[in-house]
């Protein structure tokens, strides 16, 4: 019943809506009204340049299109990994050679080695989670830089306060 009432009401109002749309002002019959063109919208043609882009342009590491410039450089790293697993002792042994190709005009002053799997060592702080088992983690037995052996027993160099070392100012 309710649906029928809505349909009848819609059918009764439809001719009135169509007639109202067809009416225009007196004298408009058969004429197409012209709409005034919208004012032309300003389009920004220049791109704001950030300080980082400005420095890259000045250094020649980027050109005006954003592509690498004549002084652009990247580090490239080649890895060779040899690994063996001993199921009886559940031990993985291996060696890795990392060759860093530095095409920068500046020499590298440091290379950091991150040992992610040392989170399983018993003395490593790791927040609230504790692994189901602890291991010896990764043990480095030999390290060389440019063919020269690195003394693994030597204490690490002193660092400033920002890197977690040093003393607070007096």
Residue 170: inside a domain, yes or no?
Answer: no
Give the span between the Cα atoms of 99 and 112, in whole angstroms: 13
Whether pLDDT at 20 is above 60? no
91 within a domain of the structure (yes/no): yes
User: Considering the domain boundaries, does residue 10 fall inside one?
Assistant: no
Q: What is the mean pLDDT of residues 23-49?
A: 75
Please check whether residue 143 is in contact with residue 150, taking contact to mean a CB–CB distance below 8 angstroms: yes
Residue-number span of the structural domain to which 83 is assigned: 75-152
In a domain, 54, yes or no: no
Distance of CA 39 to the CA centre of its chain: 41
Evaluate whether residue 113 is within a structural domain.
yes
Residue 143 forms part of a structural domain: yes
Domain tally, the chain: 1
Give the phi and the psi of residue 3 in degrees, each rounded to 5: -65, -40
Residue 50 falls within a domain, yes or no?
no
10 pLDDT above the threshold of 70: no
**Rounded CA gap, 168 and 157, in Å?**
17
pLDDT of residue 161: 57
Task: Map 61-112 to HEC letters.
Answer: CECCCCCECCCCCCEEEEEEEEEEEECCCCEEEEEEEEEEEECCCCCCCCCC
6 within domain boundaries: no
pLDDT-based confidence at residue 170 (cuts at 50, 70, 90): very low
State the pLDDT at residue 22. 52
């Amino acid at each position: 019943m309710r649906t029928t009432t809505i349909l009848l009401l819609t059918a009764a109002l439809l001719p009135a809506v169509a007639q109202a749309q067809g009416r225009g002002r007196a004298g408009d019959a058969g004429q197409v009204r012209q709409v005034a063109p919208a004012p032309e919208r300003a389009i920004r043609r220049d791109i704001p340049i950030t300080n980082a882009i400005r420095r890259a342009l000045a250094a020649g590491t980027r050109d005006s299109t954003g592509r690498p410039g004549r002084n652009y450089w990247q580090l490239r790293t080649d890895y060779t990994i040899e690994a063996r697993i001993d199921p009886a002792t559940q031990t993985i042994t291996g060696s890795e050679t990392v060759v860093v190709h530095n095409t920068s005009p500046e020499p590298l002053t440091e290379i950091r080695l991150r040992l992610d799997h040392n989170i399983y060592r018993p003395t490593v702080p790791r927040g609230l989670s504790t692994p189901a088992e602890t291991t010896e983690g990764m043990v480095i037995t030999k390290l060389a830089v440019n063919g020269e052996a690195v003394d693994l027993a030597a204490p690490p160099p002193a660092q400033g306060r920002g890197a977690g070392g040093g003393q607070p100012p007096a």
